[in-house]
Amino acid sequence: MARLRVAVLISGRGSNMEALIEACRAPAHPAEIVLVASNNPAAEGLARAAAEGIHTYATSHKRRSREDFEAELEAALRGRQVEMICLAGFMRLLTDGFVNRWHNRILNVHPSLLPAYKGLDAHARAITDGVRFSGCTVHLVRPEMDTGPIVVQAAVPVHSGDTPDTLAARILTAEHRAYPLALELIASGRAVIEGERVTIARAEAADGILFNPAG
């Protein structure tokens, strides 16, 4: 069976990109990363991807329209026959037109248990509110920020002495487990998208990982 052709979009170091690369290195994994692209030509993750033999591409978003930037990016994606996009620390909001053209084919990871704490400063807001658990959400992207069908969530405790940085580090570790799992579920066809909900066929328990089992 052909593996799902994936592009990872980054703006910096790309630690989630590294987790995805590591997972897709397994020959039996149903996805392969065929492109790492960035809006920042100096992004550290580009060199890491190139060292793994992955095709890289960078085009700056500065001093140009969003539509022009996305047209160039999309040409690179289609040039590599990309079927799925994973956003991994990509610090640009995509236009509605781009998102709609790639409907159900863009994954993102957000550092909260959506729909709680959309947007920025999710860790600080969770601590301020005194929640006992936070975590991360891997979801399909929609034009509205931090919305879309949830594929996988991972929960972590919030400790009494946490700072935004310590909570962020704990959640990032969870992201490195949840994101590769979500991509595997999508690529294998076990994640079934029905409208604005995802169910998982043949769900298997995973410590700290939450998803919606089928039926």
Residues 40-85 have pLDDT tens digits of 999 999 999 999 999 999 999 998 899 999 999 999 999 999 999 9
Active site residue 110: yes
Query: What integer is the mean pLDDT of 114-120?
Result: 97
Task: Please identify which of the residues 110, 123, 139, 176 carries the catalytic annotation.
Answer: 110
- Break the chain down into helix, strand, coil percent, rounded to 5: 35, 25, 40
pLDDT score at 36: 98
Same domain for 199 and 122, yes or no, is yes
Same domain for 60 and 96, yes or no, is yes
User: How many other CB atoms are there within 10 angstroms of residue 162's CB atom?
Assistant: 17
Q: How far apart are CA 51 and CA 36, in angstroms?
A: 12
- Residue 13 Cα distances to 24, 40, 83, 181, angstroms: 18, 11, 23, 21
Same domain for 135 and 94, yes or no, is no
Confidence of residue 215 (pLDDT cuts 50, 70, 90): very low
The candidate with the shortest Cα–Cα distance to 89, out of 9, 156, 23, 35, is 9
Same domain for 93 and 114, yes or no, is no
Same domain for 211 and 115, yes or no, is yes
Domain containing residue 27: CATH number = 3.40.50.170
Q: Check: CB of residue 16 under 8 Å from CB of residue 109.
A: yes
Same domain for 98 and 113, yes or no, is no
Same domain for 157 and 65, yes or no, is no
Which carries the bigger pLDDT value, residue 209 or residue 67? 67
Boundaries of domain holding 59: 1-102
Confidence of residue 212 (pLDDT cuts 50, 70, 90): low
213 three-state secondary structure: strand
HSE of 134, CA atoms in CB hemisphere, 13 A? 32
How many residues does this entry show for the chain? 215
* Tens-digit pLDDT profile for residues 171-204: 999 999 999 999 999 999 999 999 999 999 876 6
Query: What integer is the mean pLDDT of 103-113?
Result: 98
Q: 1-35 burial, b for 16+ CB within 10 Å, e for fewer?
A: eebbbbbbbbbbebbbbbbbbebbeeeebbbebbb
Same domain for 91 and 175, yes or no, is no
- Write out the DSSP string of 11-28: SS--HHHHHHHHHHTSTT
Q: What percent of the chain has pLDDT over 90?
A: 91
Cα-Cα-Cα-Cα dihedral sign, residues 167, 173, 176, 177: negative
Confidence check: pLDDT of 208 > 80: no
* Tens-digit pLDDT profile for residues 128-144: 999 999 999 999 999 99
Alpha helices in the chain (DSSP H): 15-24, 44-51, 66-79, 96-101, 122-129, 164-188
Same domain for 112 and 74, yes or no, is no
pLDDT score at 205: 56
Q: What percent of the chain has pLDDT over 70?
A: 94
Confidence check: pLDDT of 209 > 80: no
Global pTM value: 0.94
Q: How far apart are CA 127 and CA 160, in angstroms?
A: 9
User: How many structural domains does the chain have?
Assistant: 2
Confidence check: pLDDT of 213 > 60: no
Domain end position, chosen among 102, 126, 158: 102
- Please state, rounded to an integer, the average pLDDT across all residues of the chain: 94
- The tokens describing 66, both together, are 């969003």
Same domain for 195 and 122, yes or no, is yes
pLDDT score at 201: 83
Same domain for 90 and 118, yes or no, is no
